[in-house]
Amino acid sequence: MSDAPVTSNLRVPHSDALDKAADVEGRSLWQDAFRRMQANRAAMASAIMLIVLAVVCFVGPLFVPWTYEEIDWDLLEATPPNFELKHYLGTDSLGRDMLARLLQGGQVSFMVGILATSVALVIGVTVGAMAGFIGGRVDQFLMRFVDVMYAVPLMFFIIILMVVFGRNFYLMFLAIGFVEWLTMSRIVRGQTLTLRNKEFIEAARASGGSTTSIIIRHIIPNVLGVVIVYVTLTIPQVILLESFLSFLGLGVQAPMTSWGALIAEGAQEMEITPRTLILPAVCLSTTLFCFNFLGDGLRDALDPKDR
């Protein structure tokens, strides 16, 4: 089309108005939410606590004189905290440094939580947004598939995977992620359905947007708030699931460990050395607690109307 003659009508001298004053910065809904979040002490404390925990778990081992798999041959038994031997939290029944193992277990737990949730996030958001936005047959098909997946007993599924493919660190992420995306996809689909009928989606279509570009540009940014909340609530679930698998002996392979595995080990000796049970249990529950608090705070901050 020839828009040259028409454009000339619109060439109003705007540049000087633009130059004279700096643009007014808008405050996005994200910034608003962040401000509300900051006012929530419990949630902020949880967030800081989690960051500290994660940093300590990932950086801490550099400063601990022992590694998680190193056996102190002089001891070969559970020892209480001993500063001379530099076992600040003592050792476990095999004489491995408790602190080093605790930190390494934390690494695994955090990684499982984050990686498995990312798997769930990517699959769940894609499937949910597609089902909700495209609707019709696609929706029917995807959601029936989700229903079928829900019916598959999760533990059974993971145990079979572990048996067939052997115990594999990454397989565990995938397996947990593959199970956790179901709820995510349902949540995203529900949100998308309410968004789909909003006028701004219609406006986007009238502005020439294709389905893909509308999903990416409008749907996803608008469901992101809910998704973030759900993610912070999924991470602890996943960590717990991993702990449970480790407790059953299906989690990480020794000598690697996770908080769940440490708890399992500690439980066996809890009458002799309660320390080996209590330490990982405290770490794990603190983390779960913080994630839940953070999730709650985020939910309040992101949609203040829905309270």
Q: How far is the CB of 294 from another protein (least distance, A)?
A: 22
Pair 295, 233: CB distance under 8 Å: yes
Q: How far is the CB of 124 from another protein (least distance, A)?
A: 20
Q: Which is nearer to another protein, 194 or 268 (CB)?
A: 194
Q: Which is nearer to another protein, 81 or 304 (CB)?
A: 304
Quote the CA–CA distance of 110 and 13 in Å, as a whole number: 56
Give CA torsion, residues 82, 83, 89, 94, to 10 deg: -50
Cβ-count burial of 18 within 10 angstroms (0-12 exposed, 13-18 middle, 19+ buried)?
exposed
Q: Which is nearer to another protein, 7 or 307 (CB)?
A: 7
* Binding footprint of another protein on the chain (CB under 8 A): 1, 3, 6-7, 9-12, 14-15, 17-18, 21-30, 198-200, 202-210, 213, 217-218, 221-222
Q: How far is the CB of 187 from another protein (least distance, A)?
A: 18
Pair 61, 298: CB distance under 8 Å: no
Q: Which is nearer to another protein, 5 or 166 (CB)?
A: 5
Q: How far is the CB of 16 from another protein (least distance, A)?
A: 10
Q: How far is the CB of 189 from another protein (least distance, A)?
A: 19
Q: Which is nearer to another protein, 144 or 198 (CB)?
A: 198
Collect contacts of 177-180 with beta carbons under 8 A, ≥24 apart.
177/115, 177/116, 177/117, 177/118, 177/119, 177/120, 177/123, 178/119, 178/120, 178/123, 179/120, 179/149, 179/154, 180/116, 180/117, 180/119, 180/120, 180/124, 180/234, 180/237, 180/238
Residue 229's nearest CA partner among 188, 193, 197 is 188
Q: How far is CA 25 from CA 16, 28, 31, in A?
A: 18, 9, 12
Q: How far is the CB of 198 from another protein (least distance, A)?
A: 6
Q: Which is nearer to another protein, 219 or 279 (CB)?
A: 219
